Amino acid sequence: ALEIEYAKTMIIALQLRLIALRRKMDGVAIILDASVDEVVSVRYVPPKTYGAGEKRAVYKQVDDYPRIVDASRAPSYAPTSPDQKPSIPIGYIDMPEGTTYGYWDAAYGVMNEAGLSMGESSCSGRLAAEPREDESDTSGALLWIGELSDIAMERCATARCAIETMGGLAEKY
């Protein structure tokens, strides 16, 4: 099953590269990331409409497949076998009223339907805050870079918006 998931991921990665080439020809800047040493599944997260006061679930970083099991985030995140239990949120954030952009998600947000795209480059660092363990833990950081990039993909059409959104949420949570 892991081999099939990996093959699907490679096909989607090639499709994203073709999209990037087409967008480049249209004059749109594209940045792609290749996580060739990881099992990274690329998932489409469709647009979602939020009403006043609605919240978005936030999940802890998981590097193994599946990262998230939550059909409410996207149909592609629904359980694929009876042994896959729903992921448990470590918290929630307020969402602005309105409709989000649909986007492609890997370990990090990749590209949304407005044309915003981003890549990731890992490096060692000194963490200022350890991640929260569960919803009752308020001592650690709620958001990690994967969730921050996903939220930027949901909310933003420009790089400036993405940077301001991610920075503001990182400071707040």
- Tens digit of pLDDT for each residue in 42-67? 889 999 999 999 999 999 888 777 88
Residue among 7, 81, 17, 15 at smallest CA distance from 41: 7
Tokens of 131: 């991640």
Tokens of 172: 């707040």
Neighbours of 79 (CB within 10 A): 14
pLDDT interval class at 19 (50, 70, 90): low
How many domains does the chain contain in total? 1
CA–CA dist 44, 139 (Å, integer): 32
**Residue ranges making up the domain that contains 98:** 2-172
Question: What does the pLDDT read at residue 93?
Answer: 95
Contact 68, 87 (CB under 8 A): yes
- Cβ partners under 8 Å of residue 99, min gap 6: 47, 48, 49, 50
Q: Which residue has the higher pLDDT, 28 or 145?
A: 145
- What's the helix, strand, coil split of the chain in %, to 5? 30, 15, 55
Question: What does the pLDDT read at residue 52?
Answer: 96
Contact 113, 103 (CB under 8 A): yes
Q: Which residue has the higher pLDDT, 126 or 88?
A: 88
Tokens 């790089």 belong to 159
Rounded to whole angstroms, what are the CA distances from 66 to 81, 85, 86? 11, 10, 10
